[in-house]
Chains A and B, each alone.
Chain A
Amino acid sequence: MATASLSGAAPPVIELRDITRRYGSGEAEVVALGGVSLTIRQGEFVAIMGPSGSGKSTAMNIIGLLDRPTSGHYLFQGHEVGQLDQDQRALLRRHYLGFIFQGFNLLPRTTALENVELPLVYKAVPGPERIERARAALARVGLAGREGHDPSQLSGGQQQRVAIARALAGSPTVILADEPTGNLDTQRSHEIMQLLTRLNRDEGLTIVMVTHEEHMAHYASRLVVFVDGTVQSDGPVQGENLHVAKGG
């Protein structure tokens, strides 16, 4: 596979080294991640699968700098970021990360354009340029002409496109998507996946995506399977790997 060999040469963006995440203490302690090591390189499209409760979201939250690991090291573009404080992590999210959520998470009663502008507001991009870039982002996801629409006036698929445009608007290095097609029908799901694939292939965006649907995992170039808070298997989206995912 051309993509795989290419990414093998690219520099690592995300390096998790023996990451653990525990909730609570004593009797009630829950080990959500029990020592996860994972390296994701520039330009990769990684799918994460695994049974419910296996730690996928926990891992995504740590990768997305929304949460801090209990122990272990997290290197983002070669810098240790695991123990940064709230505000430092907010700055990194602002400049390097774009999020896509299962529930879209658009601001209600706020137009598509204004939703997409949001990351640019926090990046202090001046008004006219901000609008320009937000429009361009909406055009990239095929929503030119829908700028003034409210989320309530858009279908689920369209809302998720607005969310993708919002993630793109800030020109992130990595897009993190936790079950982006979980709330969509099959047809819309494939459309969203095609959009993500195009962004990965044509623009070199690094994408990490959690999914529980094998069909969607096939769009990725690499599959990581979580079981009980550890990485069970890691490799191309085929054969042995898929068996593990389905088995879990």
Chain B
Amino acid sequence: MLWETLRLAVRTIRRNVLRSFLTVLGVVIGVAAVIAMLTVGQGSSQQVSASVQSLGSNVLVLRPGKRTMGPPTQGETTRAFTLRDADALAELPVVAAVAPSTSASVTAVAGNANLTTTVTGTTAGYVPVGGWTMAIGRNFSETEGRSGVLYCIIGETVREKLFGRADPVGQSIRVKGLSCEVIGLLSPKGATSFGRDQDDTILMPIRAVQRRMTGNDDVGSISLTLAEGVSSASAQREIAALMRERRRIAEGQDDNFSITDMKEIASMLTGINAVLTGLLSSVAAVSLLVGGIGIMNIMLVSVTERTREIGIRLAIGAQSGQVLMQFLIEAVVLSVLGGVIGIATGLAMAYVAAQVMAIPFTPQIGVVLLAFGFSALVGVVFGYFPARRAARLDPIEALRHQ
């Protein structure tokens, strides 16, 4: 009997394909939206955790200026760091490695190719602290890093733009008019959660950048990794104490620099990502409800249109439960059909979005099953009322209906 009812439902639906499709359009849109949201959300959270990994563990970043949430206060000059600050930090037992850096926006040229990028003047510590690895060539040596020698390490994007697939090591590029020998290529990291391409970078020894490009001895920021087993909080206290002393900050005055634990940023990003995904998915889920109401509406119309059919079935010996099942199953089949179309559409949308946003495409079987189950549930919930109306019809009245 159940099989018969299913067959009947499919036949009734196929009898009017366009109307059936319009009936379930709401469910299609709702399910597609939920699937797309959750899939993209999952992809971007993988992206976030990948970039957390790429930050390396236990990385702190020091920047001049107060830690403020709002716009910077007027009339306040912030003193930059110096290389000596970095050296002093490196002396601390809690600090494992230090990478001071200063950066400048430059045009890099090789042959006919050129691009505008950022050059970061830094030391040999930058590669390990930043969690980079060398794809080809080598890192600066300690002495090269602290010298003014014109060596470059380039990121994958710079390589691609200037050299294509060719090996750049040993070639020279012109950075701000200076000829600079490429000694290494960084392994690609991809974009950050904010969409910044981390591979669009050139590294040079810090003194070379200071003398020839920025024209001062300033160090814009200092990244450092902590020694094994050191707690971030106590290390931050020690580092803050040292920097306050070096920058001569009187007791009771605020710090004029900030220390950021990259892990905090990462967990904040993950949090924002989760909240956004949840929010958008619930909006999408509401549209699924609207889709359910659409099904209920058309099923009610259908019951009215088919009153005579119901009367015939009742006269022939259908029990009210069987009539109820007939309409309920029809609603569920419709809704599940909408769900399946929605799942396919949602996955396609998520795939396109993943390509555009350059995040991984991560379809999840759990989400797909959930959407499937949910659309069946929508069919049951919103199909029940019309089905009950059909089941409660009086056979004589129904037969008399025109």
Report which A residues bind B (CB closer than 8 A): 61, 64, 66-67, 86-87, 90-91, 93-95, 97, 99, 101, 105-109, 118-119, 121-124, 166, 170
Contact = CB atoms under 8 A, between A and B. Distances in A.
B399 A105 contact: yes
B321 A87 contact: yes
Contacts of B1: 121, 124
Contacts of B395: 66
Contacts of B309: 107-108
A166 B321 CA distance: 22
Main secondary structure of the interface of B (DSSP, over half): helix
A83 to B, nearest CB: 16
Contacts of A109: 15
A121 B4 contact: yes
B316 A94 contact: yes
B320 interface: yes
B325 to A, nearest CB: 12
B50 to A, nearest CB: 56
A166 B309 CA distance: 14
B396 A107 contact: no
A66 B4 contact: no
A107 B315 CA distance: 13
Contacts of B313: 118, 122
B312 A93 contact: no
22 contacts: A61-B396, A66-B315, A67-B396, A87-B321, A90-B314, A90-B317, A90-B319, A94-B316, A94-B317, A101-B399, A105-B315, A106-B312, A107-B309, A107-B312, A108-B309, A118-B313, A118-B316, A121-B4, A122-B318, A166-B316, A170-B316, A170-B317
A109 to B, nearest CB: 6
B318 A90 contact: yes
A162 to B, nearest CB: 12
A99 B322 contact: no
A87 B319 contact: yes
> Interface centre among A66, A67, A124, by most B CB within 10 Å?
A66
Contacts of A66: 314-315, 395-396, 399
Contacts of B322: 122
B74 to A, nearest CB: 79
Contacts of A94: 316-318
Contacts of A119: 316-317
B399 A122 contact: no
Contacts of A95: 317
Contacts of A107: 309, 312
Given A87-B319, A90-B320, A119-B317, 7 more contacts: A61-B396, A93-B317, A99-B316, A105-B308, A107-B309, A121-B1, A122-B313
Contacts of B316: 93-94, 99, 118-119, 122, 166, 170
Contacts of B15: 109
Given A61-B396, A66-B396, A67-B396, A86 B312 contact: no
Nearest to A97: B317
A245 to B, nearest CB: 25
A97 B312 CA distance: 13
Which of A93, A97, A166 gathers most chain B CB within 10 Å?
A: A93
Nearest to B318: A122
Interface residues of B, number: 20
Nearest to A109: B15
A89 B31 CA distance: 43
Contacts of A90: 314, 317-320
Contacts of A61: 396
A94 B395 CA distance: 13
Interface string B59-97: 000000000000000000000000000000000000000
Most buried by B among A94, A99, A121, A123: A121
Nearest to A58: B396
B20 to A, nearest CB: 14
Given A105-B312, A107-B309, A107-B312, A123 B317 contact: yes
Interface string B365-400: 000000000000000000000000000000110010
B317 A122 contact: yes
A124 B318 CA distance: 11
Contacts of A106: 312
A215 B312 CA distance: 28
Contacts of B319: 86-87, 90-91
Interface string B318-355: 11111000000000000000000000000000000000
Contacts of A86: 319-320
Task: Give 8 nearest A-B pairs by CB, closest first.
Answer: A94-B317, A93-B317, A90-B319, A87-B319, A122-B317, A119-B316, A66-B395, A105-B312
Contacts of A123: 317
A16 B317 CA distance: 22
Contacts of B318: 90, 94, 122
A123 to B, nearest CB: 7
Nearest to B309: A107
Given A66-B396, A87-B321, A122-B322, A99 B4 contact: no
B396 to A, nearest CB: 5
Nearest to A94: B317
Contacts of B311: 105
A246 to B, nearest CB: 28
Interface string B287-323: 0000000000000000000001101111111111110
A107 B12 CA distance: 12
A66 B398 CA distance: 11
A105 B312 CA distance: 7
A66 B308 CA distance: 14
Nearest to B5: A121
B379 to A, nearest CB: 23
A248 B319 CA distance: 38
A111 to B, nearest CB: 11
